[in-house]
């Protein structure tokens, strides 16, 4: 690709960008569209009101009323029995509060669209307000269906929502009586960009429940009010007393000094309510994932639903776009994974497949600045109504720290490797191996006694450079020699110009390399030897929670960009890729990279004869500036140090290699008889055949001219 082609592509991009910018809707057009949508919604609402007003007046039948009364007598709570014949029962849920005194039904109903009406309005045969009457009838019918559907659970459909907390030094969980579920998890030793502690979720953003289905009923534990029983400081029982000796409970145990919460489903005599032929219990979990980091882009990119197949691998949904997956294989655990923190639900048995959905929060919405994604999982579990403990789980609410996740298997009983460390993205297998076997052990070892993580990165870079030195010694020596050979290579190119002398030119050049003990690829090899480590740290630093909040020099947080200059104006395309700031370590890395490129180009014989390639080589560091500007400062700092040490090594080897000694060695080598290598023999044979072909072609041309 030459300079003109690249310039043309840049101009085409500018034209496209200008066209999009000029054709975007104005503020007035957006306002008109919003007003039109509001007017349309108001018209639809008015039409709905008109339809209700002119509709046939609805009513509830005597049979429906009788069935509702029987349900209240069976499952309602007794309020009093002053007169035996008029025993009073009460049954309520979120939309109805019904009272049955003797055979008289009364109470209140919450109607759709807001407002409360008397049950008498729904039972009346004649009403002066058709709209209100029809809504009251619909509310009473809905309540009747709801109560009859929930059977023994109906008595728990209303109550007071209370919250009970369990906590240790690391984590605090809040469990609500409504649904008997954990509604808040707080990590006490970590802070968010906008709070003193990391709150993984709250009651408004997290919900899970168990669902039992029979042939005619569906029980969702999220609809019921549990009775909390605090067994001790670390154990809480959320209980539903269903009458006749039947109970359904969820027990939570928070381990001391761990991020682990054990959750056990307990039951007694549930076979009186759930038939024994029901073998599955559904489970639903949804969460609107909260944002914890100042840099939203990387946090969003590293947030996803992760899951592990029972006895298999760990996989995940798309991290950058909306994604859905429906699977039938058994799963061991499911996780709503954030960049640095995760909520993981581990089954003691397994999940029977799952339907998963992940949706990125759209820009421009009210939730965009506070949340990352909407995540939902629906699954099922093996169930038996006669089993006292039909299901057991372990919740992990904690940081994505490699040693912590690696040791988690020892905390809970399991028959397989949970592989929770896969929650930390460490790259392809080769790079993950380098991270887990080299980078992380060195990093953790140094972090154990070095007080600052900026110094840890400096020492780690030195250690890696020293470890690679034996492999790179010969390469650096060869690269230093190439610099001295540049004039000789130019002389050979000038002496044997043209395509017809290509073989001779190559042969002479290779012979010169052989005499000097140099390699034409020496400028690339130092970087190639480091590439696996460079790629490994590329995945390690953005996911390293130990760098989170750690300062160094001017950097306030090594896990975030070290912006020295920022702006608020949104620049299309530029803001999406470069960001709205300039990171100093990224800038230093770019300058150092340009210096290294210049040194490499100077050491390459004939490097200045290809100005197009030279221009492209200098363009690459600038592209890295755009790409890395939004990355963690710790990553740019490591690359800066690595390039700086490489430059220093180059200058050191230049001093070690003497041009006079090299040419003396070349002279001595030239005097010695040499055995041709297989490559040189093949090269000379190809040259000989090429000369023969050229001579034959010239001979035929001359013969042809003679005949003419």
**Would you kindly state where each structural domain of the chain is located, as residue ranges?**
62-156, 163-425, 453-665
How far is the C-alpha of 628 from the C-alpha of 608, rounded, in Å? 29
How far is the C-alpha of 180 from the C-alpha of 182, rounded, in Å? 7
How far is the C-alpha of 187 from the C-alpha of 529, rounded, in Å? 41
How far is the C-alpha of 186 from the C-alpha of 171, rounded, in Å? 6
Q: Distance of alpha carbon 380 from its chain centroid, rounded?
A: 24
Write down the pLDDT at residue 487.
73
Q: What is the mean pLDDT of residues 158-174?
A: 94
Place 563 in a pLDDT band, splitting at 50, 70 and 90: confident
Query: Which SS3 state, helix, strand or coil, does residue 124 take?
Result: coil
Write down the pLDDT at residue 1.
47
Write down the pLDDT at residue 580.
73
Contact 581, 567 (CB under 8 A): yes
Q: Which residues of 124-135 are buried (b: 16+ CB within 10 A; e: fewer)?
A: eeebeeebbbbb
Of residues 433 and 136, the one with the higher pLDDT is 433
The DSSP element (H or E) to which 93 belongs, if any, is none
Write down the pLDDT at residue 73.
85
Place 376 in a pLDDT band, splitting at 50, 70 and 90: very high
Looking at CATH, the fold of the domain delimited by 163-425 is given as Beta-galactosidase; Chain A, domain 5 (2.70.98)
Query: Which SS3 state, helix, strand or coil, does residue 385 take?
Result: coil
**C-alpha distances out from residue 282 to 155, 279, 343, 353, 377, Å:** 22, 10, 20, 11, 11
DSSP label at residue 531: H
Least confident of 2-6, 151-155, 239-243, 317-321: 2-6
Write down the pLDDT at residue 703.
66
How far is the C-alpha of 388 from the C-alpha of 368, rounded, in Å? 44
Q: Max Cα separation, the chain? A: 138
Of residues 54 and 195, the one with the higher pLDDT is 195
Write down the pLDDT at residue 82.
56
Q: Which residues of 345-369 are buried (b: 16+ CB within 10 A; e: fewer)?
A: bbbbebbbebebbbebbeeeeeeee
Write down the pLDDT at residue 283.
97
Q: What is the mean pLDDT of residues 369-376?
A: 94
Flag whether pLDDT at 594 surpasses 70.
yes
Give the burial class of 260: count Cβ atoms within 10 A of its Cβ; 0-12 exposed, 13-18 middle, 19 or more buried: buried
Side-chain-side CA neighbours of 36 within 13 Å: the count stands at: 6
Q: What is the mean pLDDT of residues 98-114?
A: 85
Place 179 in a pLDDT band, splitting at 50, 70 and 90: very high
Least confident of 274-278, 427-431, 470-474, 489-493: 470-474
Place 213 in a pLDDT band, splitting at 50, 70 and 90: confident
Phi-psi region of 132 (alpha: psi -120 to 50; beta: other; left: phi over 0): alpha
If one counts every other C-beta atom within 10 angstroms of the C-beta of residue 434, the result is 21
DSSP label at residue 701: H
Write down the pLDDT at residue 455.
95
**C-alpha distances out from residue 201 to 276, 292, 365, Å:** 36, 11, 19
Query: Which SS3 state, helix, strand or coil, does residue 200 take?
Result: strand
Name which of 55, 59, 147 is nearest 98 in CA terms. Answer: 147
Per-residue pLDDT tens digits for 506-549 = 777 776 666 666 666 655 666 677 788 889 999 999 889 999 98
Instruction: Name 669's Cβ contacts closer than 8 Å, sequence gap at least 6.
Output: 514, 515
Q: Which residues of 455-494 are buried (b: 16+ CB within 10 A; e: fewer)?
A: ebbbebbeebbeeeeeebeebbbbbbbbbbbbebbeebbe
Q: What is the mean pLDDT of residues 70-85?
A: 75
Per-residue pLDDT tens digits for 432-489 = 999 999 999 999 999 999 999 999 999 999 998 888 877 776 666 666 666 666 677 7
Write down the pLDDT at residue 121.
81
Bridge-based pairing state of the strands 235-243 and 227-232? antiparallel
What are the DSSP calls for 595-638, one per residue?
Answer: HHHHHHHHHSTTGGG-HHHHHHHHHHHHHHHHHHTTS-HHHHHH
Per-residue pLDDT tens digits for 308-356 = 999 999 999 999 899 999 999 999 999 999 999 999 999 999 999 999 9
If one counts every other C-beta atom within 10 angstroms of the C-beta of residue 592, the result is 20
How far is the C-alpha of 82 from the C-alpha of 85, rounded, in Å? 9
Flag whether pLDDT at 372 surpasses 80.
yes
How far is the C-alpha of 237 from the C-alpha of 223, rounded, in Å? 17
Which residues on neighbouring strands pair with residue 331, listed in sequence order? Answer: 309, 351
Percent of the chain whose predicted confidence (pLDDT) is above 90? 38
Selection from 316-325, 362-371, 681-690 with the highest mean pLDDT: 316-325
How far is the C-alpha of 599 from the C-alpha of 149, rounded, in Å? 79
Least confident of 349-353, 359-363, 579-583, 645-649: 579-583
Percent of the chain whose predicted confidence (pLDDT) is above 70? 76
Write down the pLDDT at residue 71.
87
Write down the pLDDT at residue 262.
96
Contact 304, 337 (CB under 8 A): yes
Query: Which SS3 state, helix, strand or coil, does residue 214 take?
Result: coil
How far is the C-alpha of 431 from the C-alpha of 634, rounded, in Å? 18
How far is the C-alpha of 36 from the C-alpha of 689, rounded, in Å? 81
Contact 337, 316 (CB under 8 A): yes
Least confident of 547-556, 634-643, 669-678: 669-678
Least confident of 2-16, 307-321, 633-647: 2-16
Contact 110, 92 (CB under 8 A): no
Averaged pLDDT score across all residues of the chain: 82
Write down the pLDDT at residue 207.
96
How far is the C-alpha of 168 from the C-alpha of 228, rounded, in Å? 19
Instruction: Name 465's Cβ contacts closer than 8 Å, sequence gap at least 6.
Output: 642, 645, 646, 649
Instruction: Name 292's Cβ contacts closer than 8 Å, sequence gap at least 6.
Output: 192, 193, 198, 299, 338, 339, 340, 341
Write down the pLDDT at residue 204.
93
**C-alpha distances out from residue 512 to 307, 403, 487, 506, 518, Å:** 58, 53, 12, 10, 8
Write down the pLDDT at residue 395.
96
């Amino acid at each position: 690709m030459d300079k003109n082609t690249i310039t043309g592509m840049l101009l085409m991009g500018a034209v496209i960008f200008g066209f999009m910018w000029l054709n975007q809707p104005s503020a007035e057009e957006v306002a008109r569209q919003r007003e039109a949508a509001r007017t349309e919604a108001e018209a639809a609402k008015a039409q709905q009101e008109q339809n209700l007003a002119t509709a046939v007046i609805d009513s509830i039948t005597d049979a429906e009323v009788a069935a509702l009364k029987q349900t209240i007598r069976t499952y309602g709570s007794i309020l009093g029995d002053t007169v035996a014949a008029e025993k009073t029962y009460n049954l309520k849920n979120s939309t109805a509060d019904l009272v049955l005194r003797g055979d008289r039904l009364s109470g209140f109903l919450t109607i759709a669209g807001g407002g409360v009406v008397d049950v008498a309005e729904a039972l009346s045969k004649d009403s002066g307000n058709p709209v209100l009457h029809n809504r009251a009838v619909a509310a009473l019918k809905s309540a009747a269906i709801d109560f009859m559907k929930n059977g023994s659970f109906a008595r728990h459909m209303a109550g007071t929502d209370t919250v009970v907390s369990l906590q240790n030094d690391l984590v605090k969980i809040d469990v609500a009586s409504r649904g008997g579920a954990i509604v808040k998890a707080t990590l006490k030793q970590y802070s968010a960009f906008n709070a003193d502690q990391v709150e993984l979720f709250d009651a408004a953003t997290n919900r899970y429940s168990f669902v039992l289905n029979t042939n005619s009923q569906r029980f969702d534990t999220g609809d019921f009010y549990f009775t909390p029983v605090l067994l001790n400081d670390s154990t809480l029982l959320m209980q539903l007393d269903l009458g006749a000796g039947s109970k359904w409970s969820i027990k939570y145990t928070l381990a001391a000094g761990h991020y682990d919460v054990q959750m056990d489903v307990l039951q007694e005599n549930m076979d009186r309510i759930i038939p024994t032929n029901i073998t599955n219990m559904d489970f639903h979990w949804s969460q609107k994932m909260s944002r914890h980091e100042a840099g939203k882009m990387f946090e969003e990119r590293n947030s996803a639903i992760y899951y592990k197949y029972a006895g298999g691998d760990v996989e995940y949904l798309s991290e950058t776009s909306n994604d859905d997956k429906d699977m039938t294989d058994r799963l061991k655990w499911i996780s709503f994974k954030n960049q640095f923190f995760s909520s993981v639900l581990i089954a003691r048995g397994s999940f029977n497949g799952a339907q998963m959905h992940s949706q990125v929060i759209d820009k421009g919405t009210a939730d965009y600045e506070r949340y990352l994604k909407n995540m939902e999982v629906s699954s099922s579990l093996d169930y038996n109504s006669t089993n006292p403990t039909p299901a057991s789980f372990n919740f992990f609410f904690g940081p994505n720290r490699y040693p912590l996740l690696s040791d988690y298997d020892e905390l809970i009983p399991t028959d397989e490797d949970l592989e929770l460390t896969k929650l930390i993205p460490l790259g392809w297998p080769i790079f993950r191996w380098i991270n887990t076997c080299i980078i992380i052990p060195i990093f953790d070892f140094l972090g154990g006694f070095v007080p600052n993580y900026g110094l840890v990165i400096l020492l780690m870079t030195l250690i890696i450079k020293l470890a690679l030195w034996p492999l790179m010694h010969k390469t650096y020596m060869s690269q230093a020699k190439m610099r001295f050979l540049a004039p000789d290579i130019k002389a050979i190119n000038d002496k044997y110009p043209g395509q017809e002398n290509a073989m001779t030119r190559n042969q002479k050049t290779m012979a010169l390399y052989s005499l000097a003990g140099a390699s034409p690829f020496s400028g690339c090899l130092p970087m190639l030897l480091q590439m696996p480590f460079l790629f490994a740290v590329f995945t390690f630093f953005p996911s390293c929670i130990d760098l989170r909040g750690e300062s160094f020099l001017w950097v306030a947080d090594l896990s975030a960009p070290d912006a020295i200059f920022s702006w608020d104006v949104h620049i299309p395309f530029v803001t999406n890729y470069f960001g709205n700031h300039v990171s100093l370590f990224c800038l230093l890395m770019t300058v150092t990279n340009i210096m290294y490129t210049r040194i490499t180009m100077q050491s390459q014989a004939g490097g200045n004869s290809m100005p197009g390639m030279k221009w492209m080589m200098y363009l690459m560091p600038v592209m890295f500036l755009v790409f890395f500007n939004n990355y963690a400062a710790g990553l740019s700092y490591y690359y800066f140090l690595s390039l700086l040490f490489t430059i220093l090594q180059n200058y050191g080897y230049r001093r070690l290699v003497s041009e006079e000694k090299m040419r003396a060695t070349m002279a001595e080598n030239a005097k010695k008889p040499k055995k041709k290598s297989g490559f040189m023999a093949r090269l000379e044979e190809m040259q000989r055949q090429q000369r023969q072909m050229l001579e034959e072609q010239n001979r035929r041309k001359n013969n042809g001219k003679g005949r003419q």
